[in-house]
Amino acid sequence: MNVSWNSFELAGDRISACVIPPGLPLVVIEKRGFVKRFAAFGVRYGAFDRVFIPPEGNRQIVVPDGTAHFLEHCAFEGRRGNALAIFSGRGAMVNAGTSHTFTFYYFTCTERFDENFKDCLLYTSP
């Protein structure tokens, strides 16, 4: 996946940002001297989001309560298999959460961060 990164230094940390398909912003903060690494991303779709108009449509669609939380769990079952099993097999802990307005996914690890991060992007791409 080719993306254009913008990077800068702030308070000794390196901050890099880009936009990945299908238009999700991605920010990476590198904190020097830390052993544990953490990556997270979120989408603006939470428990309160029950009515929407698809990009190709012109009429509202109403979904049942709990749809965002259901989709949160579906993301762990991707084309490449179960994300929980894949990430934990590399020593990473992966989890997700749904708030009223956001759904977010994250993982932490001390080793194989780049491999886990790449898979994180693959799980989120269409």
Phi, then psi, of 118 in degrees rounded to 5: -60, -45
Is 72 labeled as catalytic in the residue annotation?
yes
Structure tokens at 110: 């001390």
38 closest CA partner among 47, 48, 28: 28
The one catalytic residue among 9, 30, 56, 72: 72
Cis peptide before 22 (omega within 30 of 0): yes
Cite the active site residues. Answer: 72
